[in-house]
A = this chain, B = another copy of it.
Amino acid sequence: MDDREAYDRLDSTASSPSELFEHFERWSADGRTYRLLTDARHGVERGTVVVERTGAIVRGYPSVSRILTLETGVHAVFDVDETIVVEEKLDGFNVRIADVGADGPLAFTRSGYVCPYTTDRVRTLLDLPEYFTAHPETMLCVELIGPETPYTTHDYDGVDSNAVRVFGIRDRVSGVPLPVTERRTRCEAYGFPQPRLFGRGPPDVAAEVVRDAVGALDAAGREGVVLKAANGAPRAKYTTESQHHAELAYALSLPFEYGRDFLFSRIVRDAFQAAECDDDAALEERAQDLGESILLPMVETIRRVENGETVGERHTVRGDADSVDALLAHLRDQSLTVEVVDDGCEDGERVVEFVKVAESTTDQIRHYLDGGTRDE
């Protein structure tokens, strides 16, 4: 397919194919070449993919704005007579599953790469052939969750290894979502697990639903909620204190990889939530917990580097031997240094524990421990 046809189908605000496609990068795997959009441009979402030979399009998943003040935010984002659907937001790995004419459906990461491991997982965990035979023009928007994924490690009750939740179904080319009710019905029909639905209603009701949901999710150490229009479009997200602190703890355990980027935004979220929700005692407790989330993981990492340990993100993955190998190759293709810590077999599956080595954190901590100075 030529650029003109892909350009027409993407319905962008760019005035010519070249104006749009100059922002795409080429990427190859398994004998296929993809073009992917590394940043949102001309009304087209980041992570949008055009398969080179066939011209198949997999539209990126839109970024969702965040409200910081719950009471006013719900009313500012939605009209007074709109119905809002409140669903759980999960802390996992967001992929789009699409059948683009390869040997089976593929899992595309948020930025538009095919992840071989997630592809293997979703093929195992969902009955995809039956689904895509009936709905080839759609993509499933899925969160891969659980302790055994190569990207996230958030624990969820009842998920020992990994699992998926289908939180959206969209037209693969236009990105138009299925209304929430239809999506939930269709997923139930195919036996696809979904995120928890907390309730639906106009803004007044929804704000109350969110408040209760976030309280319960916070107590359970879960991430938060997404507020969707009835037509399926996610319009806002709102997260828990425990999630803010967990993300800070994670980022500060690898301070020179993630610290600077994570810090301010999580503190902003936490402060607005505290200003809206906390009495003096709750505020004091939140502040102390915030400080522990920031300082303790960083001090632990400094001491581990001092002891000569490898620091980085530790993950465990499980699957058939080939998909695990493909994953490790895929990660190394992305310029990550991957150290395999353990490589074994359990119940006929290969189980590999590995560390994505945090080079910048290791090098900089070593520098300062050796007496190196810092210029600011």
- A interface residues with partner B (beta carbon < 8 Å): 63, 65-69, 71-77, 236, 252, 255, 259-260, 263-265, 267-268, 270-272, 274-275, 278, 283-284, 286-296, 298-299, 302-303, 306, 368-376
Q: How far does the alpha carbon of A370 sit from the alpha carbon of B74 in the complex, in Å?
A: 10
Q: How far does the alpha carbon of A373 sit from the alpha carbon of B303 in the complex, in Å?
A: 39
B286 and A274 within 8 A (CB): no
A66-B375, A371-B72, A374-B66 known; A267+B294 contact, CB < 8 A: yes
B306 and A275 within 8 A (CB): yes
Q: What residues of B have a CB within 8 angstroms of the CB of A306 in the complex?
A: 275
Q: How far does the alpha carbon of A318 sit from the alpha carbon of B299 in the complex, in Å?
A: 44
Q: What residues of B have a CB within 8 angstroms of the CB of A376 in the complex?
A: 66, 265
B268 and A373 within 8 A (CB): no
Q: What residues of B have a CB within 8 angstroms of the CB of A375 in the complex?
A: 63, 65-66
A45 → B minimal CB distance (Å): 13
Q: How far does the alpha carbon of A104 sit from the alpha carbon of B373 in the complex, in Å?
A: 39
Q: Report which residue of A275, A278, A284, A288 has the largest number of chain B beta carbons within 10 angstroms of its beta carbon.
A: A275
Q: What residues of B have a CB within 8 angstroms of the CB of A287 in the complex?
A: 288, 291-292, 294-296
Q: How far does the alpha carbon of A278 sit from the alpha carbon of B300 in the complex, in Å?
A: 12
* Residue contacts A-B, CB under 8 angstroms, 5 given: A66-B374, A67-B374, A68-B373, A275-B303, A286-B291
A69 and B294 within 8 A (CB): no
Q: How far does the alpha carbon of A233 sit from the alpha carbon of B236 in the complex, in Å?
A: 55
B263 and A298 within 8 A (CB): no
Known: A66-B376, A72-B371, A290-B295. 14 other contacts (CB 8 A): A65-B375, A66-B375, A68-B372, A68-B373, A69-B369, A69-B371, A76-B372, A263-B264, A265-B376, A272-B302, A284-B292, A287-B296, A288-B292, A290-B294
A66 and B275 within 8 A (CB): no
B271 and A302 within 8 A (CB): yes
Q: What residues of B have a CB within 8 angstroms of the CB of A71 in the complex?
A: 371
The 9 closest A-B pairs by CB, nearest first: A291-B291, A76-B371, A72-B371, A65-B373, A288-B288, A275-B302, A287-B295, A290-B291, A271-B298
